[in-house]
Structure 1
Amino acid sequence: MTGHGEFAEEREWTQCPACRALIYGKRLTRSLQVCPECGAHHRIAAHERIAQLLDDGSIELVEPVVADFDPLDFSDTKPYVERLAAARRKTGLDEAVVLARGTVDGNPVVVAAMDFRFLGGSLGSAVGELITIAAEIALAGRIPLLLVTASGGARMQEGVLSLMQMVKTSQALGRLDEAGVLTISVITDPTYGGVAASFATLTDFVLAEPKARMGFAGPRVIQQTIKQTLPPGFQTAEFLLAHGLIDAIRPREELRATLARLLSLGGGRDIPAQERPAEAADGVIRNPGRLADADAWENVQKARDVGRPTTLDYLSRVFEDFEEMHGDRLGGDCGAIVGGPARLDGRAVMVIGHQKGRTIAELSLRNYGMPTPDGYRKAARLMRTAAKLGLPVITFVDTPGAHPGIEAEEQGQAIAIAENIRLMAALPVPVITLVSGEGGSGGALALAVADEVLICANGCYSVITPEGCAAILWNDPGMAPAAAAALRVDAKQLLRMGVVDGVVPEPDGGNQADHLVAAQRVHKALAGTLRRLSEKDGAALVAERRTRFRSFGAVDVTGSESERHRQR
C-alpha cells in the first residue's frame, strides 16, 4: 500500500491516502492515478506525467548534464552529497526535474516536469539550471513552454545560492515574455516556497489540479510563526481560484484537452475557417441615415432587458474553444468580468466582457455586471497576454457602470479603470468592442478603447445613467426620460457623433427575442471587422486608434468640429 506523500505504483491493491478506500491497481492506473471513490489526485512521477500529457510517439527526453553541486559542504544528520546519492538511487532520476520535447494533440511544446520524490522537489541550483535550460530551448525554437510543478520549497542545503535560482528562473520566463513565447504552468500538490514565488506563477496561464496546494509559506510555518488558525481549504487550488491567483482548475482527465487548446494559441496554428469572400458584407450599418429615430428612454429600457444575450451567451454561440481564465493574480476574481482565449472562424482571439446574468441569484453573483477593481485588473492581464501572443482582443460591453462601493474605492477603482484605458490605447493588436447592451460611464470605457466600436441597435452608451443625470442636474429622478434624450444615448445618435463606428441590427423584438439570430449577426459583424483590421500592422493600429480618440472634442482653427466628425 502507498502511504500519504508516496507515489502510486501499479500494485494489485492500493489504499487511497485521502479516503482510505482500497483500489484495484489496474483501475487506479486507468483513472490516471485519481481515486475513483473520492477523486483525490495521487502524486505521480515526472516521467509518468510526461507520458500522460504528450502524444504517443512524440516524446523526446532532453537530458543535459547536471553537475553535483555542494557549495557549502553541507551536513545535517548526514552529508548533502549522501542525500543526493540516496535520492538518485530511490528515484532513478538525476535531479528533481525531467525535461522533454513533444506534442500535445499535435501542438509542439517543451515540458519541464518536477518530481516530488527527489528531495521534495526542492529548488536547488540544478533544478534552477534545468528550468532555465527548458526556457532557453523554448526560446530558441519559439515553442511554448509547459511547467509542471511540485515542490516543498528551497533546497536549504545549498543556502543562499538556492535563493538565487528564483531570479535565474524568473528572468528566463521574462525573456520568453519579451519574445512572445507562450508559457503555461500546471500546479500539482504541493507547490511551495521559491518555486511558487518564481517560475510557477509567472506563466501566461496557471492551471491547477483539484485540491493542489500552493503558497509561499507552508501551513506549518505560518502556524508556528504567527500562531494563526488557518481556514479550511487554505492554499488549495479551490482557495487560490476564489482569490484570483490561478486561472482554472482542471481534473487530470481534462488537463490534456485544455492544454491542447491553450498550446494551439502559441504554436501559430490557426484553424482554417470555411472560405468566405474577403469583401463579404459584415452586416454593420455605418450610415446613421439608414437608422430610424428611436425614443432614447425606451432604448435604455431595451438595452437593460435581462433577457438579452450575455457575454457568455455570445461566447457559446459566436466563438469556439473558449477557455475561461480567472483572477487578477493580485487576490481577486470579479464575476462581473469574464474572459479568456477563444477562436472566431478559426482565428485565435482574446475575448473579454461584462457579465450580468438573468436570475436574481446570478445577477447578485455577478454584481449586476458592475466590475470591481480586480475585474478590470483581470481584463488588463488578459489583454497583456493577448498583446504578447499577438491575439486580437474582442470586448463585450454591458454594464451600468463600475461598482460604486467602499471596497472598490479602497482597492483603487479609478486607478484600475485608468490603467485599462491607457493599456488598450497602446495594444499592438486589433481591438474590437461591441456594446451589446448598456454602456455605462467609465465602467464601460475601460473595455471600449478599440479600433472599431460597434453597438447593437438597441444598445446605449452614456457618460452617466439617465437617472443619475436627472438627479444631479434636474434634482428630479423622474426626469430620466428627458435626460436620456438630452444625452443622446441611442445607437443612431452615437453613430452620428462618431462615438461608435457601426450598428449591428437586431431581430424583431430585439436580441432578447431571438438569441440565435442575434449571435449570427454579431458573428458576421465581428468576423468581417476582424478581417479588415488584421490587414494592418501593430504600429498602424495603435497610431490610428490614438488618432481616433484624439479627435473627440477637437476643433480646427476655424472653431468648427473636427473633420472626422463633420464627415459623419
Structure 2
Amino acid sequence: MTVTAQRAGQSMWLLCGGCRTPVPAARFRRALHVCEACGRHAPVGARERIDQLADEGSAVALPAPPGAEDPLGFADLVPYRQRLRAARAATGLAEAIACARVTVHGLPAVLAVLDFGFLGGSLGTAVGEAFARAAETALQRRCPLVVVSASGGARMQEGTLSLLQMAKTTQALAELDRAGLLTVSVLTDPTYGGVAASFASLCDVLLAEPGARCGFAGPRVIEQTTGEPLPPGFQTAEFLLDRGLIDGVVPRSHLRQALAHLLRTAAPGARARLARTAARTAGRPAAALVTAPERLAAADAWDTVRLARDLGRPTTRDYLDRLVEDFTELRGDRTGADDPAVVGGLGRLAGQPVVVLGHQKGHRIDELRRTNFGMPGPAGYRKARRVMRLAARLRLPVVTFVDTPGAEPGRAAEEQGQSGAIAECLRAMLRLPVPVVSVVTGEGGSGGALALAAADRLLVLEHAYYSVISPEGCAAILWKDRAAAPDAARALRFDAPALLRAGVADGVVPEPPGGAHADPAATAERVGAAVAGVLRELLGTDERRRLAQRAARYRANPADRLEGLARSADEPAA
C-alpha cells in the first residue's frame, strides 16, 4: 500500500500504491501526495501535513512532552525501546504526533496531527499528553483545535496506561466544548481503534479524506469474528457519510480551504466583532419586511397553497447558494442515518456567522423522491437538534427555512421514534440561548414545520402558509372528502395576512409579481435583507431579555390570537 520510489537517470519517480502508475516525485509532492491517475490519497507525515494546512511560515511547534518510556519493559519479537528508536529515526519525530500553533488563511488555530509512520500512529502516553497540551493551548489562546488522525489505535506496548489516554483526550475536548471553541477532526487512512473511539470522533465537525478507512474494529477482525464477508467500500469515508456518521468527504486539495471556511465562521474573534457591530446597528428596521397586514394584497387561500407548492420556488439549498458564504454542510445524526429532507450547517449571512437549518424539497422528481418531498424522518430532526446544540456552544445565531408538507408519517418513521424526535427538536430550539429567526418559504405543515420554527422571530413569504394540518388532511377528516381542500384552506386562515394579524408571524416578505418562482434571485435578495435586519435587532438585545420574550411568545393568551384571526376575515372562523 505504500508509495515506492525508483531512480530513472537523475530523476526520482514514485509508484502509486493503488494503481501502480509511475509519477515524478516532484509532481506527486505538488499534488499533495494524491495520485493523478486513480485519486488515491497516499499517507502524509505529520510535519508535511502541517505544512500543507498552515500558512507559510506560520507554524510554531509545540514542545513534545515526555511520555512513560517503555513503562512495562515490553518486548515481543523486538524490544519496545528498539521500536521507538527506529520510529524516531524514520520519521524525525519524538512521538507519533506533531502539534503546532498555526494560521490558516490568516485565522489562528492549533493543529494536532498523528503520523502513521510512527508505530502506526498509535495512542500512547506521550501522544495523549501532547494532545491534551495542544487542547490546553487552544483553550488559552481562544482558538479552534484541528485534529488530523491516522492511527491503528491504542499502543499495546504501553498496556493499560495507553488505554487511559482515550479518557485523557476525551476530557481535553470536553474542556473546549465548555469554552465554546470549535473542534474539527480530519479522518485519514487509516483511523481505527482507540483513536477512532475517542477524540477523532468527538469533534464538532468530522471530515474525512476520500477513501479513508475508519472504524473501531478493523475489517479483518470483523470478518474473523462474524465469519461473514464485508461489502465493498465498508468503513470507507464514503460509507460513513452515507450513514450520517461524518459531515463530509473533502479531497486533500480542498481541505485547507474547507478549514478556512469553518474558522471564518466559528472563530471567537470574528463572532465578537460582528456582535459589536450588531449592537451598534440595533433598532434599524429590517429591510423588505411588511409588518402591517393592510399592506398585503388579498388572495384566495387555495391560490396561496398552489403557489406555496410550486416546484419552481427557491429551496433551502437555493437560499444557501445565494445568501450564505463559506457554507459548510453538517451531515447526519451521528447515530447511523442522514436525512436529506433536512439541510444544516455553518456559514456567514450578510457577514454574520450563523448556523442554518432548513427543510429541503427539490425542483425535479428525482430530487423530490430523494428528499421524500421535504418530509423529514426522525434522523432529520435528530440532525437538526445536533446542529442546534453546536450553535448554542459556539454562540452562533440560528436561521431556519421552513418548507414541508409535514413530517414523514410512514411506518419506518414511527418505528424509529418520530414523535420523540420532533418533540426533542422542538424543546432544543426553544431552549437555544442564541437568537433564532425562522422563515416559512413555502409550506409550513404541522409539527413537522414547527420543529424548525419555534423562533424569536417568525417571517413568512407572501405566498407561503403555516398550518396545523394540510388542507387535504383537514378536508378528509372534517369534510370527509379530500376534494373539499379549497374550502378547508379558506377556513383554516393560514395565509400571510392572517398569520400577521394573529401575531403568529412577525413580518411578511413580499414576493415578486407572479410569486417567488417567477424571480428566485429577487426573492432570495428580499429574504436575505429581511433576515439580516431581524438578526441585527436580536443580536443587539440582552440574552436574558430575549429568552424571556421567547418564552412569553409561546405563553401568550390564545384569546388574543383568536381576536386577530377574527379580524382577518369577514365571516367567523369555521
TM-score (norm 2): 0.94
1:127 maps onto 2:127 in alignment? yes
1:138 maps onto 2:138 in alignment? yes
1:419 maps onto 2:424 in alignment? yes
Match of 1:229 in 2: 229
Q: How does 1:110-121 map to 2 (within 5 A)?
A: 110-121=110-121
Q: How does 1:498-509 map to 2 (within 5 A)?
A: 498-509=503-514
Q: How does 1:189-268 map to 2 (within 5 A)?
A: 189-267=189-267, 268=269
Match of 1:431 in 2: 436
Change (3 A) 1:544 1:461: same
What is the total number of aligned residue pairs between the two structures? 560
**In 1, Cα distance between the equivalents of 2:514 and 2:145?**
49
1:292 maps onto 2:261 in alignment? no
Aligned-residue offset at 1:161: 2.0
Q: Which moved more, 1:481-490 or 1:387-396?
A: 481-490
1:198 maps to a residue whose letter is S
Change (3 A) 1:564 1:451: farther
1:327 maps to a residue whose letter is G
CA contact (8 A) 1:7 1:45 kept: no
Residue of structure 2 aligned with 1:301, choices 298, 306, 311? 306
1:149 maps onto 2:149 in alignment? yes
1:497 maps to a residue whose letter is A
CA contact (8 A) 1:551 1:562 kept: no
**In 2, Cα distance between the equivalents of 1:278 and 1:255?**
40
Identical positions, percent: 57
CA contact (8 A) 2:333 2:380 kept: yes
Residue of structure 2 aligned with 1:337, choices 318, 323, 342? 342
| Cα offsets for 1:111-140 (capped at 9, x unmatched) | 100000111011111111111111111111
**In 2, Cα distance between the equivalents of 1:163 and 1:496?**
62
1:391 maps onto 2:396 in alignment? yes
Q: How does 1:16-35 map to 2 (within 5 A)?
A: 16-35=16-35
Aligned-residue offset at 1:562: 9.2
| Cα offsets for 1:118-174 (capped at 9, x unmatched) | 110111111111111111111111111000000001111222222211111111101
Q: How does 1:462-501 map to 2 (within 5 A)?
A: 462-501=467-506
**In 2, Cα distance between the equivalents of 1:9 and 1:263?**
40
1:455 match: secondary structure: strand
1:519 maps onto 2:519 in alignment? no
Q: How does 1:437-448 map to 2 (within 5 A)?
A: 437-448=442-453
**In 1, Cα distance between the equivalents of 2:313 and 2:222?**
48
Match of 1:374 in 2: 379
Match of 2:464 in 1: 459
Match of 1:361 in 2: 366
2:164 match: secondary structure: helix
2:147 match: secondary structure: strand
| Cα offsets for 1:36-72 (capped at 9, x unmatched) | 1111101010000000000011110111331343333
Change (3 A) 1:68 1:164: closer
**In 2, Cα distance between the equivalents of 1:561 and 1:123?**
60
Aligned-residue offset at 1:563: 10
**In 2, Cα distance between the equivalents of 1:391 and 1:325?**
15
**In 1, Cα distance between the equivalents of 2:20 and 2:546?**
59
Aligned-residue offset at 1:565: 9.2
Match of 1:65 in 2: 65
2:111 maps to a residue whose letter is V
**In 2, Cα distance between the equivalents of 1:311 and 1:561?**
29
Aligned-residue offset at 1:552: 5.2
CA contact (8 A) 2:132 2:168 kept: yes
CA RMSD of aligned residues (A): 2.2
Aligned-residue offset at 1:8: 7.8
**In 2, Cα distance between the equivalents of 1:567 and 1:501?**
17
**In 2, Cα distance between the equivalents of 1:373 and 1:90?**
49
Change (3 A) 1:496 1:172: same
**In 1, Cα distance between the equivalents of 2:195 and 2:538?**
41
Match of 1:97 in 2: 97
**In 1, Cα distance between the equivalents of 2:370 and 2:198?**
33
Match of 1:321 in 2: 326
Aligned-residue offset at 1:219: 0.3
CA contact (8 A) 2:501 2:564 kept: no
1:307 match: secondary structure: coil
Match of 2:543 in 1: 538
2:74 match: secondary structure: coil
2:308 maps to a residue whose letter is A
Aligned-residue offset at 1:539: 2.3
| Cα offsets for 1:439-459 (capped at 9, x unmatched) | 011110110010000000000
Match of 1:12 in 2: 12
1:167 maps onto 2:167 in alignment? yes
Change (3 A) 1:144 1:277: closer
Match of 1:269 in 2: 270
TM-score (norm 1): 0.95
Q: Which moved more, 1:278-287 or 1:441-450?
A: 278-287
**In 1, Cα distance between the equivalents of 2:439 and 2:64?**
50
CA contact (8 A) 2:402 2:443 kept: yes
1:85 maps onto 2:90 in alignment? no
Match of 2:572 in 1: none
CA contact (8 A) 2:123 2:194 kept: yes
Q: Structure 2: where are the runs of 5+ without partners? A: 569-574
1:323 match: secondary structure: strand
